[in-house]
Structure 1
């Protein structure tokens, strides 16, 4: 009887250890981390990249659980003919969320430009918190973002509500001198290229395309944001300006 009770206790202890998980916003990895790396249901263990330190901390973030692998698609890496018009494409959108408010939520960043004429204009969606155009706008309507597993995500749910995200999606169709790719917001994940951070600068890369400046962007008519595949401040298309955009983690966005 003594041995049976002991065995039962050991089995119970091992079961408890096997099911241990970290709660939302708790540490789940990093340099010298020896604890559990598993997050609760619906959360994912996300590497945090504070500036200027290298990645050395991972945190359980709600809504960041890995999704099933998407069906493989053939990426277009060869140049396609530039459109005959350089006007801003139509990107109809629809409401997707109520928004996280004007106070920065834990685990997310503001993203803003730091050069004229868009100094301290903030990345957001048009319509606000909805699918459609990625634009730079006023600090009072700034979006909140993070890069998770190569995806640029925007938090569009209210604090305390179930986490809802939009994904930055990159068009494979080139425009503006054949050197620009349109960025927009979707409820489905991006399948073309990978987002990341270079210091505090937002980057994008894809196999088969070598970018001279990985943090180079265009802001064109209507404040629409494009990836600049060419050189920064060289042969800038009419109606566009060159920008780099960077994360900012103060409690509130400001101008």
Structure 2
């Protein structure tokens, strides 16, 4: 009988290599977990797609899925597509006109990324004036920057307008209306706007919000899409008639649908 003196050694090395590979793969999977309220999927997303235990990756639109409370974790379900009428498929459709104003250096457009307000853009209800903050057409999108905690609209390329948030009347109020003013808020009433990646957040020391990037869009009697700070739990305490949104910077040359 032929004797293999090196067989035992080879087998042990193979087993060790297999154990090392399994351990490495387990480590990678453990690290590939999105944070609570973090993005976990969407077209073009290359980051983590698994949520922590007790959280579910919830599809908001074809381009954005988010870890929200509830469930046992996991990846988002496949996104569905709809026919575009031309024999192919499309994930969204719109008839809104593109903007024609070129984005200025140091500024961003700001837009929603979820239905029913997908790619509607932040602006003034009465364009370029101190009026309610609304979402509207890309054709009339305003431009913004955040400086020293102030969200500033560059109205007409010359006159700055400042985002102001109404004071909270009492602890039962779950949404605060945002408007534009010629003067910024100051003192205890002034909250702080900030970027988190490309997402707009707002905080104030006197209010403990479960999610700093949670917004509400609520149509008024005239159909204007008024923008509010959402003080409640995102997607779980949505006031009647409103839609939960996150709003994001867009730095393309012009506002697009």
**TM-score, with normalisation over the residues of structure 2?**
0.57
Separation (CA, whole Å) in 1 of partners of 2:238 and 2:148: 31
Structure whose CA Rg is larger: 2
Alignment equivalent of 2:165, drawn from 160, 166, 170:
170
Structure 2: runs of 5 or more not aligned: 1-98
- 1:1-255 matches, within 5 Å, as 102-158=101-157, 163-174=158-169, 178-191=173-186, 192-221=190-219, 222-255=224-257
Separation (CA, whole Å) in 2 of partners of 1:122 and 1:174: 28
SS of match in other structure, 1:196? strand
Partner of residue 48, structure 1: none
Separation (CA, whole Å) in 2 of partners of 1:227 and 1:252: 26
Separation (CA, whole Å) in 2 of partners of 1:114 and 1:211: 21
Higher relative contact order (CA 8 A, sep 6+): 1
Shift of 1:175: 8.9
Given that residues 211 and 233 in structure 2 are in contact (C-alpha distance below 8 angstroms), is that contact kept between their aligned partners in structure 1? yes
SS of match in other structure, 1:146? strand
For residues 106-147 of structure 1, what are the alpha-carbon distances to aligned partners after superposition, in whole Å with 9 as ceiling and x for unaligned?
110000000000000000001000011100000000000000
Separation (CA, whole Å) in 2 of partners of 1:211 and 1:199: 19
Structure 1: runs of 5 or more not aligned: 1-99
Separation (CA, whole Å) in 2 of partners of 1:174 and 1:125: 24
Aligned residues: 152
